[in-house]
Amino acid sequence: MKRYLVCSDIHGRIDLFKKAFLKDKAVDGVLIAGDLQLDTYEITDFVYAKGNDCCNVYMVCGNCDAYEPSASLLPSVLFCEAGPHRILLTHGHRYYAPRTDLMSYKAEENGCDIVIFGHIHRFVFEKIDDILFLNPGALMSGSYAVLTVANDGTVSFEHMSV
């Protein structure tokens, strides 16, 4: 079984990220769907300082990250593996979120069956055709999620709050 802390729209609230991570730090990865408004090292240094150096941290740039120092380091779209699943991680603003059609095309082109996005600041857990769309809500409002991929490939997504 693999567990992932999923958040988006942190908007500089590193304190809330730390609370969420400490609450669920037994994770195999952290997936951040943009609008960090932080330097990437603020996230990674904290995760690794808490003894979770086996935890992979994936982050993408959001529309509010355009003028932040770390924006040039972050891609707008990232692909990662979670067990038998391939994830498209994006903020969603370039795909007109909450519309899912353009994100769905990008996912299909790249063999992804899960799309994690942010931008709209509300929780979404919806399967459309063969693609699962997940939005953890805005961490700046205390909302995040834990994605679990069971050994048999089953996916669950638990909405959490700090």
Q: Give the bridge partners for 133, in sequence order.
A: 115, 126
* pLDDT at residue 148, as a whole number: 95
* pLDDT at residue 53, as a whole number: 66
* pLDDT at residue 143, as a whole number: 98
* pLDDT at residue 55, as a whole number: 85
* pLDDT at residue 79, as a whole number: 93
Instruction: Output the pTM of the full model.
Output: 0.93
Flag residues of the chain having pLDDT under 70. Answer: 25, 52-53, 68-73
Please report, for the chain, the start and end positions of each structural domain, with discontinuous segments joined by +.
2-161
Task: Encode burial over 14-39: b for 16+ CB neighbours within 10 A, e otherwise.
Answer: bebbbbbbeebeebbbbbbbbbbbbe
DSSP per-residue codes, 75-111: -SEEEEEETTEEEEEE-SGGGTTT--HHHHHHHHHTT
Q: In what order do the strands lie in the sheet with 2-7?
A: 56-59, 29-32, 2-7, 143-149, 155-161
**How far is residue 131's CA from residue 124's CA, in Å, rounded to a whole number?**
13
Q: Does domain 2-161 fall into CATH 3.30.465.10? A: no
